[in-house]
Copies of this chain bind each other. A is one copy, B any other.
Amino acid sequence: MKKVTQTKPLTIGSLSKKTGVNIETIRYYEKIGIMPKPQRSDGGNRLYDEGQFKRLNFIRRSRELGFSLDEIREMLRLVDEKDFTCAEIAAISQHHLDDIKLKIKDLRKIERHMKNMLSQCSRKETPDCAILDILFQN
């Protein structure tokens, strides 16, 4: 008695609900080739399996971490070709982390400038403003 855990296929709508990825985005991912072309019902509606659900979840999580679709594409390529090493994935991730650190650094600089400007501002109902003076200077 073989037990085949055949999960029933998901429509794009239910896949969308289960992953939190919007329907048009799923179709977009297919169009740009990071999601595979799924099976179709007789009428032509997309039907997704468990593997595709996992893949989309991977993409979503990676996007939430700020990976670009190109970085995700590259990771998925390595996975698909079953020809990756931990070192390779780590390199991509490390690069991305460095990127994020840089962004934080830039934003903190901007934050300081903004705070500084705002601290010089009277915030009164008067028609002159230290912020404008700073931004217009020179």
- By size class, the interface of chain A is 35 or more
Q: Is the interface of A mostly helix, strand, loop or mixed?
A: helix
A97 in contact with B123 (CB, 8 Å): no
In the complex, are the beta carbons of A86 and B136 less than 8 A apart? no
A62: contacting residue among B61, B97, B135, CB under 8 A = B135
Residues of A within 8 A of B (CB): 54, 57-58, 61-62, 64-66, 75, 79, 82-87, 89-90, 93-94, 96-97, 100-101, 103-104, 107-108, 110-111, 113-115, 117-118, 121-132, 135-136, 138
Copies of this chain present = 2
What chain B residues lie within 8 Å of A86 (beta carbons)?
121-131
Are A111 and B97 in contact, with the CB atoms below 8 A? yes
